[in-house]
Chain A
Amino acid sequence: MRLFGFRRLAAICLAAIAAAAAGASTSLLGVCGPFTDTTNDTFCPFVLEIFTLGITTGTTPTTFSPSDNVTRLQMAAFLSRTVDRVLDRGSRRAALEMFWRIQNPVRLSTTSVGDLPRGVASDGADIWVANRDSGTVSRVRGSDGRLLDTWTGATNADQFVVAIGRVLLTGQTSPGRLYQVRAAQPAGAVSTVASNLGDDSIGIAFDGVRIWTANFSGPSVSIVTPGLVVPWTVTTVGTGFTAPTGALFDGSNVWVTDFTVGKLFKLDAAGAILQTVTVGTQPAFPVFDGGNLWVPNIGSSSVSVVRAATGVVLATLTGNGLNQPQFASFDGERVLVTSPAGDMLSLWKAADFSPIGSYATGIGNGPTAVCNDGVSFWVALSGVDALARF
């Protein structure tokens, strides 16, 4: 194929493999890139691609051993590197040349919001913040952090889900409430679409049809069916729950953490408990990374990583700055966990659970809820009534 000028292999002088030492180089002219045992035929571009990407280094600096079979161990290395390279390059941060991580709290760019921000969510462009004490909802533009709108009337606003073109949030009231913001409308008062949820609704999830809330004091789970008129239909299930806290949907099932008993429950479509997973003490607000659930445990200062498909606890993570962690968020490559008690943010590589680092947000900042907009993590600093970009 010929595209506006040329389409051919570049004149790749792949032989020049410079030594790491300053300016020194040892040129090794191979047949296919640096490899002397691989023919420059139709397979060579494939070999060059995985060499360029660092997926293979060859069996030696000058040999690829093309006829050798691949062991399962080698295959694991190749697949792991492939996943890493694809995720690295496919992220929006790579295209925006953002290869850094914020190292210091004074670098955190913050936006002042309402009193005691407790929940955050992104709609893809703007960040929504639930301010519990002021009963308001702040809308912050993701590109520059400007406060755009403030909505009122959201008593004890807590957690969000952005779905069906609307911003939905729980009210930790008794009975619990579900509020709705129509983002396309001028800012004003939120509308209450249900006021008969179980007591103290906090966690919230959407399964594609219905909204689920975890009601701490209910103790129960409420299933809300959106309708054309308010109030929306609510079904509340209490069997088996002690103190439901966080909720999420993994593409197949809703999961709920139970704070008091240290359990994670997998639910069926009617809210019945299908599976019980023992996690750490006082599990709070988890996140799903597409394969696994990351559950912050406040009481045991740990994070349980649970395979959604089986319910098996793959790892229990400790250290890395965890100090009574509460919330977790996933950005496609990494998981960020907030520890308000220690004013810390903890970061892991999601693919292999390796710790990336921990970051102090400043004494008294109290990082709580966190979300990601595809470029940055956004953290509610409940101690200083602000939203920070990380």
Chain B
Amino acid sequence: MRLRRFAAVLTAVLALFAGGAAGLLGTCGPFTDMANDLFCPFVLEIFYLGITTGTTATTYSPGDSVSRLQMAAFLSRTVDSVLLRGSRRARLNQFWTTQAATALGVTEVGLTPQFVKSDCTDLWVSDPGLQIVARVRGSDGAVLESWTSGINPRGVLVASGRVFIAANTNPGRMYMIDPSEPVGSVTTVSTALGVFPQTLTYDGSNIWSANSGGSVSIITPGGPPPWTVTTVTAGFSQPNGTLFDGANVWVTDFGAQRLFKLDGNGAILQTVTLGSGLAWPAFDGTNIWAPGGGSVWVVRASTGAVLATLTDNGLTNVQQAAFDGRRVLVTSGSDHRLALWKAADLTAIGSLDTGAGTSPLGACSDGKDFWVALSGAGGLARF
């Protein structure tokens, strides 16, 4: 408390000198209408953090009531400030956003890398071109291992200390890697998934695959393979992406142009009509970001309400969304672009051209950087 009071006085003194001869010495920071009492440190904190600027440069109006509009500003700035300061990037003093393709850190990985996931230290990349799953060290981008997969490795899931890979086959397959074991071949844990699995998610008990052949498979991890699989087809046309929001599994259906909320048995609980080209969504803790065609739909998970349709980023072929705690990144293959939004208020931050022919596809965050599979360039880019 003493330190804070000292800081209050020091701030006022500094304001006096920085402002020139006309400076006014406040009683609580710059504010002349605030007592330097028990509440002063709180006022100073939100002033330093930029959450309030006062009612004027020298007044805080401590006795005034707060309108709901003013409250919205305070809370919005609070969320922004805390998320920015609390991020890993802030701790590493990395406040930049990569501005040019030449500044992307690209690791050569396979021929046609598709999807990528982080285990919080390393990245796992599926590559059907060489039929491998590559392990890339997040800190420096070095390729550590190449696991021999079966055919057509596609969506990747890291869960429960293992790496799972959907195989885009008919019938579908799922592979598994124990990353604590020496590098070798993947283990096939099931060959009985629905037709053409695309991506995987996990609900804490079962693994779910979205199968573009028209089904969703629920795989129950167990002992030695094969693992038990239940495949549900009712209501599905061409499932593509899947995610778990902490309560329910959601599936994007490319053919039906809809987002489905599922119950624990795979039955459709709720249908949200979106649009064409639905691909691979992300969840930001509150809302689902579903890319498709030239749009990104933002859907509130708790209600299924479509909050927004984001269309003005100039993209025409959006693929996968990823969330890093503050921002959502969306890849666009034929546009060879990456687009960024601020997740809290859906404002566009910008977009980056990754270069003709790079075809960015899968994306994830490791909590610090976004990582993007450049399927046309045989690379994994750090963004």
Query: Given A6, A10, A52, which contacts B344 in the complex, CB threshold below 8 Å?
Result: A52
Tell whether B243 is near chain A: CB-to-CB under 8 Å. yes
Tell whether B78 is near chain A: CB-to-CB under 8 Å. yes
Q: Are A96 and B65 in contact (CB under 8 A)?
A: no
| Chain A proximity mask over B201-234: 1 for CB below 8 Å, otherwise 0 | 0111100000000000000011100000000000
Query: Which residues from A are CB-within-8-Å of B244?
Result: 99-100
Compute how far the CA of A88 lies from the CA of B245 in the bound complex, rounded to whole angstroms: 12
Query: Which residues from B are CB-within-8-Å of A99?
Result: 244-246, 283, 285
Q: Are A86 and B79 in contact (CB under 8 A)?
A: yes
Compute how far the CA of A4 lies from the CA of B329 in the bound complex, rounded to whole angstroms: 14
| Chain A proximity mask over B66-83: 1 for CB below 8 Å, otherwise 0 | 111101110111111011
* Known contacts A20-B305, A89-B326, A95-B324: A38-B69 contact under CB 8 Å: yes
| Chain A proximity mask over B45-82: 1 for CB below 8 Å, otherwise 0 | 00000000000000000000111110111011111101
**Inter-chain contact total with CB atoms closer than 8 Å:** 254
| Chain A proximity mask over B248-262: 1 for CB below 8 Å, otherwise 0 | 000000000010000
Q: Are B313 and A6 in contact (CB under 8 A)?
A: yes
Question: Among residues 1 to 36 in chain A, which have CB atoms less than 8 Å away from a CB atom of chain B?
Answer: 3-14, 16-20, 22-23, 25
| Chain B proximity mask over A129-149: 1 for CB below 8 Å, otherwise 0 | 000000000000111111100
Query: What residue in chain A is nearest B181 (Cβ atoms)?
Result: A146
Compute how far the CA of A95 lies from the CA of B329 in the bound complex, rounded to whole angstroms: 12
Binds A, one of B34-42, B165-173, B186-194, B266-274: B266-274
Query: Which residues from B are CB-within-8-Å of A182?
Result: none
Compute how far the CA of A141 lies from the CA of B178 in the bound complex, rounded to whole angstroms: 13
* Known contacts A48-B346, A99-B245: A145-B77 contact under CB 8 Å: no
Tell whether B87 is near chain A: CB-to-CB under 8 Å. yes
Q: Are B302 and A89 in contact (CB under 8 A)?
A: no
Binds A, one of B10-18, B125-133, B363-371: B363-371
Query: Given A16, A22, A78, which contacts B75 in the complex, CB threshold below 8 Å?
Result: A78
Q: Are B82 and A90 in contact (CB under 8 A)?
A: yes
Query: Which residues from B are CB-within-8-Å of A91?
Result: 325
Compute how far the CA of A38 lies from the CA of B70 in the bound complex, rounded to whole angstroms: 12
Interface size class, chain B: 35 or more
Compute how far the CA of A389 lies from the CA of B160 in the bound complex, rounded to whole angstroms: 7
Binds B, one of A61-69, A242-250, A311-319: A61-69
* Known contacts A4-B97, A10-B312, A17-B305: A100-B119 contact under CB 8 Å: no
Binds A, one of B23-31, B106-114, B348-356, B373-381: B348-356
Compute how far the CA of A14 lies from the CA of B161 in the bound complex, rounded to whole angstroms: 39
Q: Are A6 and B350 in contact (CB under 8 A)?
A: yes
Query: What residue in chain A is nearest B282 (Cβ atoms)?
Result: A97
Q: 21 interchain pairs (CB within 8 A)?
A: A4-B99, A5-B352, A8-B312, A9-B347, A20-B304, A49-B345, A52-B345, A54-B300, A55-B79, A64-B68, A66-B72, A70-B68, A86-B78, A92-B120, A92-B325, A97-B243, A97-B323, A99-B285, A141-B180, A144-B121, A145-B180
Top 5 A-B pairs, shortest CB-CB distance: A109-B161, A143-B121, A146-B180, A144-B179, A100-B204
B residues with a Cβ closer than 8 A to A are 65-69, 71-73, 75-80, 82-83, 86-88, 97, 99-100, 117-122, 158-162, 179-180, 202-205, 221-223, 243-246, 258, 270-273, 282-287, 298, 300, 302-313, 323-326, 341, 343-352, 364-367
